[in-house]
Amino acid sequence: MAFLSLGFDELNWGVIVATWLPWLPATWVFVIRPRLIMLDDELIVVGVFATKRYPLREVVRAEPDGYGTYFWLASGEMFCAATLWRPNYAAWFRWRTRAHKVATKILVRGAALRGDPQPSQVDQARGLGDMTIQWWFVS
């Protein structure tokens, strides 16, 4: 009915296809393609423009954030898996999310490959209970 009110007598499929067709590659690149894959001995991070492989035994630290989960390697290198993020409200209420659980599993597997003791679970770095409110008064 909206098309008829704009002066179109019938639905023009050519206009619809021409309008939505350019969005298909963008949907593939930004929504479907990015992912995180954990194999037996390596972690594969498939990003928007590149795919990187990291040995699991080198992953020593993980911190989920609102932009993704940041991983640190034993060499000091850091990388971010943007597909594994935690919402801001989860940080406010100190909730453990899927990002924390997956990051913990990755760290446990890496420690097992290194022969280290099992690390503790990945927790929230901060929450509302940890924040201190500072009042600044100007006289």
12 — pLDDT class (breaks 50, 70, 90):
confident
Q: Which CATH number fits domain 10-114: 2.30.30, 2.30.29, 2.40.160, 1.10.1060?
A: 2.30.29
What is the Cα–Cα distance from 23 to 19, expressed in whole angstroms? Answer: 8
The per-residue pLDDT for range 38-72, each reduced to its tens digit, is 999 999 998 877 899 999 999 999 999 888 899 99
The rounded percent of the chain whose pLDDT value lies above 70 is 81
Q: How far is CA 17 from CA 1, 10, 11, 20, in A?
A: 19, 15, 11, 5
**128-137 own/partner pairs: CB under 8 Å, 24+ apart:** 128/92, 128/93, 128/94, 129/94
The per-residue pLDDT for range 87-128, each reduced to its tens digit, is 888 888 888 899 999 999 999 999 999 999 988 888 765 544
**The pLDDT of residue 125:** 56
| Residue type at position 52 | K
User: pTM above 0.75?
Assistant: no
Q: How many helices (H) and strands (E) does the chain have?
A: 5, 6
- The residue assigned the tokens 């990015």 is 34
Number of Cβ within 10 Å of residue 95's Cβ equals 13
Segments making up each domain of the chain, as ranges: 10-114
